[in-house]
């Protein structure tokens, strides 16, 4: 009789390596290790061999970079998503893709459960499990960090390291990097360790070796660089005249943004589980793309459509952050976003300089900007009669005048 199977989201780090071995022992199951290649670069080197040595019966390392860029990053950027005014959702948007592929593998392999190494204090546990609930509700989800028996066995990293050494698990645990990272095509994040002190200056020159994707603005080139992004229906399709697919766009913009020290964010954010946490992010290409897209919209999107879409940005960003990518409300908002992008076509020129993304021109064959109407000089088309503004202002002032009539001079309301 064949053993039960569990699909584990595997990174090769200390936590998931220990979890792989512990799951195998505890559940007497075959563990299928799954890693999504979503742009981690050299972090994937030797991963398959490591997983097999740790006890995995099978290993999947799937290249999902193109799907990540096309079906997750680009739709999210069309929506203008920005969490709490700063975070471009680099980790958040990757989780539903990883979980989606996990459940596909679980079904193909006949696994009864999926497992992950997310802690009970973070957002990722929610993102993985809500995706699984939406796509494969029949699967069990095993979250070792929420199990008493696992936490009792591993109260700290010392116990995990000892366990790994006793079983010959090839892991590297060191104090050289006292923080955790998460890297993908959109960004890299840093948290925990010394970053748990919100007064710690992560931008100080002494901490520069922490960063991976970008130089500091101080070390960026002293000369600005111009870049042109071409858009079709809200998606970037070319850079400096070179046609690129979504993956190519992200790779090129990451290179440019990193060179000029663009996209570093240090913030204290509100986790879905209720606590505040401090995170440092590098999102070089995403910052350029976000800025360019917004400038393209300013020229081509109808005012009321833009304001309606903008009113939904906090909701959309929260849905992504909190793990509701596959929820009916996110899909409904996305349909509105797609409709809003049908004329977001043209070219944006930007100047990149020492951490800044500066607008340097925008044009479109479907521009809604009419220089003849907007000019402060005489309108040759006579499309706008300035006298019309008198009645416009009078009508908009009517309710204010009516309110003023029942207010006293201090604005506290009429007596009696």
Q: How many residues does the chain have?
A: 416
Among 65, 95, 127, 278, which one carries the catalytic annotation? 95
Answer yes or no: 385 catalytic: no
- The encoded tokens of residue 340 equal 């809003």
Q: How far apart are CA 361 and CA 253, in angstroms?
A: 18
Identify the CA nearest to 192 among candidates 84, 277, 265.
277
Helix axes 328-340, 303-311, angle to 10 degrees: 160
Backbone torsions φ then ψ of 62, nearest 5 degrees: -105, 130
Question: Reduced to 3 states, what is the DSSP secondary structure of residue 397?
Answer: helix
Options 17, 30, 92, 124, the catalytic residue: 124
| 54 in Cβ contact with 165 (< 8 Å) | no
Region class of 269: left (phi > 0), else alpha (psi between -120 and 50), else beta: beta
State the Cα–Cα distance between residues 296 and 347, nearest whole angstrom: 7
Annotated catalytic residue: which of 180, 192, 302, 394?
A: 180
The phi, psi pair for 239, rounded to 5°, reads -130, 125
The reply to whether 180 belongs to the active site is: yes
Q: Is 95 a catalytic residue?
A: yes
Q: Which two tokens stand for residue 191?
A: 């948290």
- Which residue's entry shows tokens 């008493």? 148
Catalytic member of 15, 30, 127, 214: 15
Rounded distance between C-alpha atoms, residue 228 and residue 355, angstroms: 17
Where in the sequence numbering do the catalytic residues fall?
15, 95, 124, 180
């Amino acid at each position: 009789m064949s053993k039960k199977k569990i699909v584990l989201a595997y990174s090769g780090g200390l936590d998931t390596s220990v979890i792989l071995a512990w799951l195998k022992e505890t559940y007497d199951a075959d563990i299928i290790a799954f890693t999504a290649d979503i742009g981690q670069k050299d972090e994937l080197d030797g991963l398959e061999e490591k997983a097999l040595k740790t006890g995995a019966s099978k290993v999947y390392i799937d290249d999902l970079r193109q799907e990540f860029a096309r079906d997750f990053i680009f739709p999210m950027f069309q929506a203008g998503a920005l969490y709490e005014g700063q975070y471009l959702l680099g980790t958040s948007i990757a989780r539903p893709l990883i979980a989606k592929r996990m459940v596909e593998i679980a079904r193909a392999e006949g696994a009864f459960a999926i497992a992950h190494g997310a802690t009970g204090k973070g957002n990722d546990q929610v993102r993985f499990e809500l995706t699984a609930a939406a796509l494969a509700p029949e699967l069990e989800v095993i979250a070792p960090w929420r199990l008493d028996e696992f936490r009792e066995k591993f109260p700290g990293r010392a116990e995990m390291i000892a366990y790994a050494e006793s079983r010959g698990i090839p892991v590297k645990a060191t104090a050289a990097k006292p923080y955790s990272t998460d890297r993908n095509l959109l960004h890299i994040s840093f948290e925990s360790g010394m970053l748990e002190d919100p007064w710690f200056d992560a931008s100080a020159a002494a901490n520069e070796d922490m960063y991976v994707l970008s130089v500091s603005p101080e070390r960026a080139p002293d000369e600005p660089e111009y870049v042109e992004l071409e858009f079709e229906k809200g998606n970037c399709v070319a850079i400096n005249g070179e046609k690129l697919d979504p993956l190519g766009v992200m790779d090129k913009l990451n290179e440019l943004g990193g060179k000029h020290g663009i996209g570093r964010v240090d913030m204290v954010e509100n986790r879905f589980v209720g606590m505040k946490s401090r995170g440092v992010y590098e999102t070089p290409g995403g910052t350029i793309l976000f800025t360019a897209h917004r400038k393209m919209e300013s020229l081509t999107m109808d005012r009321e459509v833009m304001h309606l879409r903008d009113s939904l940005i906090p909701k959309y960003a929260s849905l992504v952050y909190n793990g509701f990518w596959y929820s009916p409300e996110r899909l409904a908002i996305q349909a509105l976003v797609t409709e809003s992008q049908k004329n977001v076509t043209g070219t944006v020129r930007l100047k990149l300089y020492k951490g800044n993304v500066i607008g340097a021109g925008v044009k479109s064959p479907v521009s809604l900007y009419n220089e003849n109407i907007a000019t402060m000089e005489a309108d040759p088309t006579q499309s706008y009669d300035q006298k019309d503004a008198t009645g416009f202002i009078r009508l908009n002032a009517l309710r204010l005048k009516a309110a003023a009539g029942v207010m006293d001079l201090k604005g506290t309301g009429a007596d009696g």
